[in-house]
Amino acid sequence: MDLQDKLQALLKENQKKIEETKELDDLDKIRVNLLGKKGPITQVLRGMRDLDATERPKVGAFANSIRDELNAALDEQRETLRRERVARKLAKETVDVTMPGTPVRLGTPHILQQIIDDLSDFFLGMGYQIVDSYEVEQDHYNFEMLNIPADHPARDMQDTFYLNKELLMRTQTSAAQSRTLEKHDFSKGPLKMISPGRVYRRDTDDATHSHQFHQMEGLVIDKNITMADLKGTLLAMAQHVFGADREIRLRPSYFPFTEPSVEVDVSCFRCGGKGCSVCKYSGWIEVLGAGMVHPNVLTYAGVDADVYGGFAFGLGPDRFAMLKYGVDDIRSFYTDDVRFLEQFHKEG
Ligand code: PHE
């Protein structure tokens, strides 16, 4: 067999071997064995020494073409294997976009927070500022400044947790009234504020009371504020919360820090005033306390009570939520039972 036949046979045999190779690593091994220094091609080329000078270039060119073909075969198979590997990987990583997703459980603001947020928006829209005040409060601001001295009987209804003789858990957001009044600069305009937050009282241990609940204080002080302003404001608020057809009615009441003082009733949103179990067949539901700010409260805070005056109100988001959604136990708001809280899912 002459050299050319040998080379031709080498090509045939190895082309087949290359085509059958399934691993890239094996392909590399074949390349090294076939074309390396000790490989058959090199051997053949070495044998050219024994050839005629006229034969040498012909056989040399032929050997080179065989080597090129082998290289081409190796490259081609390498590319084929690489493609197959990518295809296998892609097949394995296929995502079925029609599979149902893992449901994401959405939380929602607590219903009391929703009520506070809604009322805050309402009052912000009427030009009120929102004041954040202290839950741990001084006796001074919670009582004294509100015209409730140490021996005043109004304190009986507002027993609370005392941290010491002077510090207590505030019993009413009214404590924010005097703090805001003291700071307000009336030369810059009237004072219009709301102050929502937690308040604390001795638990009377029934379903409508809790040792902790919420209030939202409202305070408006300027020149020439009248009770008509108070009534108009509370009517707008009641209609916003309980429906556009609501009416309100003011009944005389007593708070040491307002004079006159009123309890505010709203016409029943369930029966429209005819009488039902929600309004205890009276047609009216008591929703909050309010009144014209007592001159003493202004004077104690350094505001001239002969020039300035206004109104204050205190409403209870817990009570609003209970009325609006028919919740019969205030403690449901504080026991964090998701099944209860989920009912008040806020859309969007
Ligand atoms: N602070 C009073 C209460 O807790 C409510 C109130 C606030 C009444 C403001 C009048 C004015 O009962």
218: β partners: 194, 313
Whole-model pTM: value is 0.73
Give nearest CA residue, ligand 1 atom 12: 289
Tell me, using a 6 A CB cutoff, whether residue 255 lines ligand 1.
yes
Could you read off the pLDDT of 31-40 as tens digits, one per residue?
898 888 888 8
- Residue 225's pLDDT band, with cuts at 50, 70 and 90, is very high
- For 310, the token pair is 């206004």
pLDDT at residue 207 in the model: 82
- Does 44 have pLDDT greater than 80? no
- Does 220 have pLDDT greater than 80? yes
For residues 245-260, give the mean pLDDT.
97
Give nearest CA residue, ligand 1 atom 7: 314
Tell me, using a 6 A CB cutoff, whether residue 290 lines ligand 1.
yes
- For 85, the token pair is 């590997």
Measure 163 CA to ligand 1 centroid, in angstroms: 23
Cα separation of 206 and 47, whole Å?
111
- Does 3 have pLDDT greater than 80? no
For residues 305-330, give the mean pLDDT.
95
Between the CA of residue 246 and those of 234, 272, 273, 285, what are the distances in Å?
A: 11, 8, 9, 11
pLDDT at residue 208 in the model: 81
What is the chain's mean pLDDT, rounded? 93
pLDDT at residue 37 in the model: 84
- Does 1 have pLDDT greater than 70? no
Cα separation of 305 and 132, whole Å?
25
- Residue 78's pLDDT band, with cuts at 50, 70 and 90, is very high
Q: Strand 191-200 and strand 212-222: pairing?
A: antiparallel
Share of the chain above pLDDT 90, in %: 73
Give nearest CA residue, ligand 1 atom 10: 290
- Does 315 have pLDDT greater than 70? yes
Give nearest CA residue, ligand 1 atom 4: 172
Could you read off the pLDDT of 90-120 as tens digits, one per residue?
999 988 889 998 998 888 999 999 999 999 9
Tell me, using a 6 A CB cutoff, whether residue 176 lines ligand 1.
no
Residues of the chain with CATH 3.30.930.10: 111-344
Tell me, using a 6 A CB cutoff, whether residue 293 lines ligand 1.
no
Question: Is the four-CA dihedral 92, 96, 97, 102 of positive or negative sign?
Answer: negative
The residues, ordered by sequence, that sit 6+ positions from 30 with a Cβ below 8 Å of its Cβ are 14, 17, 18, 21, 74
> Which 8-state DSSP code applies to residue 290?
E
For residues 204-222, give the mean pLDDT.
90
Cα separation of 164 and 97, whole Å?
64
Cα separation of 204 and 78, whole Å?
84
Pocket test for ligand 1, best of 152, 195, 215 (most atoms within 8 A of CB): 215
The more confident residue out of 206 and 155 is 155
Tell me, using a 6 A CB cutoff, whether residue 73 lines ligand 1.
no
For residues 283-288, give the mean pLDDT.
95
End-to-end CA distance of the chain: 87
pLDDT at residue 124 in the model: 98
Is residue 221 a contact partner of residue 293, using CB atoms and an 8 Å limit? Answer: yes
> Given 3.30.930.10, 3.40.640.10, 3.40.50.720, 1.10.3720.10, which CATH number is that of 111-344?
3.30.930.10
Tell me, using a 6 A CB cutoff, whether residue 289 lines ligand 1.
yes
For residues 255-271, give the mean pLDDT.
96
For residues 262-282, give the mean pLDDT.
93
pLDDT at residue 195 in the model: 98
Tell me, using a 6 A CB cutoff, whether residue 256 lines ligand 1.
no
- Residue 348's pLDDT band, with cuts at 50, 70 and 90, is low
